[in-house]
Structure 1
Amino acid sequence: MKSIHLALCAAAVACGLAAPAQASAIAQLKAFVAGSKTLAADFSQTVTSKNKREEASGRLEISRPGKFRWEYTKPYAQLIVGDGKTLWIYDQDLAQATRKAQGAALGSSPAALLAGSNEIERSYKLNEAGKQGDIEWLAASPKKQDNTFSAIRMGFRDNALVEMELTDSFGNDTRIRFGKPQQNVSLPASRFAFTPPKGVDIVSGD
């Protein structure tokens, strides 16, 4: 899978939450946005389209506001890293790095909203989506039709976001599961900076 949904970078942003016990999914999301400065977690991702199913896994790191590192390790190595201004996508197999303006690249995606300021309700309408098993779900629907995702669901257990389900404008369904979250850990600024290795082709994105 060489085409990565950039917005997922940060989907992953909301893994460990410090919310009161028995809080609703929306309350837990807001607690995370308001109180989490940094986050590190493992993730596994499954993308399902009409004709295929693709799986990947890796590690994410977040430093609010606006900095994130979304690193795929399986089945191939790919790095998506943003320092708040510039977004880099590095494909190790292709020896290619793409550079974009971070704000233009992410727009009002979950990555931009959750890794940035407390603005999620400006672009998404939040609704409680009920409980399935031991997971409390919320649904986030875009207020504008030109958004990257047509539907987002977030599942919480024990005050932590454990799953996300996203449907993009092309009808692809993405499920992300989070594990081993570490909230408000020390993450050096160097984790969110990228220098292309020698010999790598650099492409400037739109």
Structure 2
Amino acid sequence: MRIQILCGAFAALITSFAHADAIGDLKQFLGSTHSLKAQFTQSVVGKGKTQTSTGNVAIVIPGKFRWEYQKPYQQLIVGDAKEVWLYDQDLKQATSKNVANALESSPAALLAGDTSWEKNYTLKALPDQDGLAWLEATPKRDDSSFEHIRLGLANGQIQRMDLFDKFGQTTQIRFSQIVTNPKLDTGLFHFTPPKDVDVVRE
């Protein structure tokens, strides 16, 4: 009986360490990553419908990012650490926001922002699933548009982001072809609206 109890306690201890690794992996990722590029598949689930899109992302920490939707529609979100542009090619509209008001405009903004997630989020380790170490980040600010965010990591890299907003909508993102600390052209993070588009400043 004692052996069974000890084995059970040891297994629980090993499991708790495995879960805690997700938070450690996130800290290591943020501490060692200065730039990143990847492909993504994004699925937005809400009201019984799922919308899927694909594209590319490029990030330079802190504050610079380019989140480019390619299919099924072409849209672009660009941040240069001061200003964030949202450009819809089909609608011919470009919207500019101060970066302080647009930190949650895209997952890239979250990844490229303040690397001290513990300052802005309460972190909780979750059980491993689908071969990934998971953690949950709950915003400390009441005015956040997200209820919580789940991050899945493997091999020291973020592979999944699941964002749960306050309107019952879930955004699931899978990253692939991840390259950390590449040299990126600074022009990727600057946006000049084309002359034939409507410009909205917020």
TM (norm. structure 1) is 0.84
Query: Which residue does 2:69 correspond to in 1?
Result: 72
Query: Which residue does 2:79 correspond to in 1?
Result: 82
1:175 aligns with one of 150, 160, 172: 172
Distance 1:108 1:80 in 2: 8
Residue 22 of structure 2 corresponds to residue 25 of structure 1: yes
- Please identify, of 153-162 and 36-45, the stretch whose mean Cα deviation from structure 2 is larger: 153-162
- Give the CA RMSD over aligned residues: 1.9
Query: Which residue does 2:44 correspond to in 1?
Result: 47
1:116 aligns with one of 91, 101, 113: 113
Q: CA deviation at 1:134?
A: 1.4
**Contact between 2:123 and 2:137, CA under 8 Å: does it hold in 1?**
yes
Task: Name whichever structure is richer in helix by fraction.
Answer: 2
Partner deviation per Cα, 1:52-72 (whole Å, 9 max, x = no partner): 211111000000110000000
**Contact between 1:61 and 1:69, CA under 8 Å: does it hold in 2?**
yes
Q: CA deviation at 1:118?
A: 2.5
Residue 31 of structure 2 corresponds to residue 34 of structure 1: yes
Q: CA deviation at 1:148?
A: 1.7
Q: CA deviation at 1:23?
A: 7.9
Distance 1:125 1:110 in 2: 18
Distance 1:109 1:91 in 2: 14
Query: Which residue does 1:153 correspond to in 2?
Result: 150
Structure with larger Rg:
2
2:138 aligns with one of 137, 141, 145: 141
Give the direction of change, closer, same or farther, for the CA distance of 1:108–1:24 in structure 2 (3 Å limit). Answer: farther
Q: Which amino acid aligns with 1:115?
A: A
Q: Percent identity?
A: 48
Give the direction of change, closer, same or farther, for the CA distance of 1:42–1:110 in structure 2 (3 Å limit). Answer: closer
**Contact between 1:23 and 1:159, CA under 8 Å: does it hold in 2?**
no
Query: Which residue does 1:59 correspond to in 2?
Result: 56
Distance 2:96 2:146 in 1: 22
Q: CA deviation at 1:110?
A: 5.8
Residue 186 of structure 2 corresponds to residue 189 of structure 1: yes
Partner deviation per Cα, 1:2-31 (whole Å, 9 max, x = no partner): xxxxxxxxxxxxxxxxxxxx9811111111
User: SS where residue 106 of structure 1 aligns?
Assistant: coil
User: SS where residue 118 of structure 2 aligns?
Assistant: helix
**What is the total number of aligned residue pairs between the two structures?**
184
Query: Which residue does 2:101 correspond to in 1?
Result: 104
**Contact between 2:65 and 2:109, CA under 8 Å: does it hold in 1?**
no
Q: Gaps spanning 5+ residues in structure 1: where?
A: 1-21
**Contact between 1:59 and 1:71, CA under 8 Å: does it hold in 2?**
yes
**Contact between 1:103 and 1:112, CA under 8 Å: does it hold in 2?**
no
